[in-house]
Amino acid sequence: MSLPPEHIAGFTTHARRGNLRNAFRYGVDYLLIDPTQSRGPALFSRNRRNLMSVRDRDHGGRVGQGRGLQWAREVFETAGLEITGDRRILLLTQPNFFGYTFNPVSFWLVIEGEDLLAAIAEVTNTMRDRHSYLCHLPGFRPITKTTPLRSAKIFHVSPFQQIDGGYQFNFDIRPDRIAIRILHENGDQGVIATLWGDRKPLTNGSILRAAIRRPLGAFRTVALIYWQAVKLKLKGAPFKPRPEPPEQEVS
């Protein structure tokens, strides 16, 4: 059974640890969609311009050259997770507004019943580089909110963060709510990032409220990223040049 598009009008927080601290909290709009389903309210579209939309080419592979659901299925099945029976792949992502998009992180989720079996964190930086982190337990046992999933950090996200260390992911995916926590562990340095919000049906009304409450969508996201970069620079954070992104798409 396909899932009608859902709207998570939630919040994201970032807190930088260590000698140079910085923290912020912003409202954010995410959608949870079944990529096999193209229907939705009139103000939402798949693969064409609308007030709010999601395009397959923006996900699953290099930026602007994505293969969408097929890519995610290949990643999961290569890792040994067959997408059969009641298992389905969902995409949690910030939508395009008026055709423009930028997603610091989107998530491909494999759900069976109410259990989360695996996730891909699809991370994109402002230089339009991308790398994805595959998260799962041995044997693809169900992931709970207390399950820490770790991965080495190998991708440049910010000129004010080291690539050293690793990530700890925590996923709390419920029928009525989503909460995700990402901890960049690097000694006494690092960053804690969270995303949370209630799952509600996507409607024309919720789209219009999002457009009024957080106008310009992804333009706003990019502007806020650069505003936080200015604050860090003024606080004396050292600038690290962009290294070449890893050749492999997924780790």
Report residue 21's pLDDT band, with 50, 70 and 90 as the boundaries: confident
What is the helix (H) or strand (E) element at residue 230, kind and residue range?
Answer: helix 218-234
- In 18-62, the DSSP E strands lie at 22-33, 44-46, 52-54
Kindly state the percentage of the chain with pLDDT values over 70: 92
Report residue 188's pLDDT band, with 50, 70 and 90 as the boundaries: low
Task: Dig out the tokens for 41 from the structure.
Answer: 């309210």
Taking alpha carbons only, the member of 83, 72, 86, 91 closest to residue 33 is 91
Could you identify the residue written with the tokens 């926590």? 181
Lowest-pLDDT range of 53-62, 63-72, 152-161, 214-223: 214-223
Q: What angle do CA 118, 76, 108 make, to 5 degrees?
A: 55
Task: Provide the residue ranges of all domains of the chain, joining segments of one domain with +.
Answer: 6-234
**pLDDT tens digit sequence for 161-186:** 778 788 999 999 999 999 999 998 87
Q: Identify the three-state secondary structure at position 93.
A: strand
- Global pTM reads 0.92
Task: Dig out the tokens for 245 from the structure.
Answer: 């992104």
1, pLDDT greater than 80: no
In Å, what is the CA distance from 50 to each residue of 7, 31, 45, 58, 148?
A: 16, 15, 6, 15, 38
Direct distance between the N- and C-terminal alpha carbons of the chain, in angstroms, rounded to an integer: 30
How many whole angstroms from its chain centre is CA 235? 28
Looking at residue 58, the DSSP 8-state letter turns out to be: G
Distance CA 181, CA 40 (A): 29
- Bridge-based pairing of strands 52-54 and 105-112 is unpaired
How many whole angstroms from its chain centre is CA 17? 21
**pLDDT tens digit sequence for 203-234:** 999 999 998 988 777 677 777 777 766 766 67
Cβ(90)–Cβ(111) under 8 Å? yes
